[in-house]
Amino acid sequence: MASKSQKIEHLRNTALLAGCSKRELEQVAKAGDELDVAAGTLLVDQGETGQEAFLVLSGEVGIKRNGRRIATATAGDMVGELSLLDHGPRTASAEWDTDCTLFVLDQRHFRAVLERHPTIAIKLLSTLASRVRDLDRRSYG
């Protein structure tokens, strides 16, 4: 089981929550649960509607898009974070390559944190705007 400080440090290093204070990250950490997952488990399937995100605390997760492996997520990486924001389809599949320990955060609990701590939502919007600007710059120059 990951300690509270380990969870907070992993959350701090995720792009989505990078601008949050320790106090804000503590609130997010309280909203999720830890889960042990066996190697070979498929928890995220491309095209299906997602309602939770997974922060990898230990282990490796293979990320596939259209059946082709595009990345490997390891400790500190978040999988499925767009599902915290909308009910859209998953953009990739994630299969656990090794036994993993995950921090699971569902949309309902995350939104409750945002309602209680609107500063987190403001920081999240800033992070998303930066990502959109970066994609725009890479796509259109």
CATH superfamily of 4-135: Jelly Rolls (2.60.120.10)
CA 54, 74, 44, 118 dihedral sign is positive
Torsion angle of alpha carbons 31, 33, 34, 39, nearest 10°? Answer: -120
Q: Which 3 state secondary structure label does DSSP give 6?
A: helix
**Lowest-pLDDT choice from 55-69, 78-92, 94-108:** 78-92
- Asked whether residue 1 carries a pLDDT value surpassing 80, the answer given is no
Q: What average pLDDT does the segment 39-56 reach?
A: 94
- Give pLDDT tens digits for 68-93: 999 999 998 999 998 888 988 999 99
Read off φ and ψ for residue 60, nearest 5 degrees. Answer: -130, 140
pLDDT at 2: 74
Provide the residue ranges of all domains of the chain, joining segments of one domain with +: 4-135
Shortest CA distance to 45 belongs to which of 86, 80, 97? 80
CA distance 84 to 52: 6
DSSP state, residue 80: S
Supply angle C-alpha 18, 132, 28, rounded to 5. 30
Q: Which 3 state secondary structure label does DSSP give 91?
A: coil
pTM over 0.75: yes
- Asked whether residue 53 carries a pLDDT value surpassing 90, the answer given is yes
- Give pLDDT tens digits for 116-126: 999 999 999 99
The rounded mean pLDDT for the chain is 92
* Number of other residues whose CB lies within 10 A of the CB of residue 22: 11
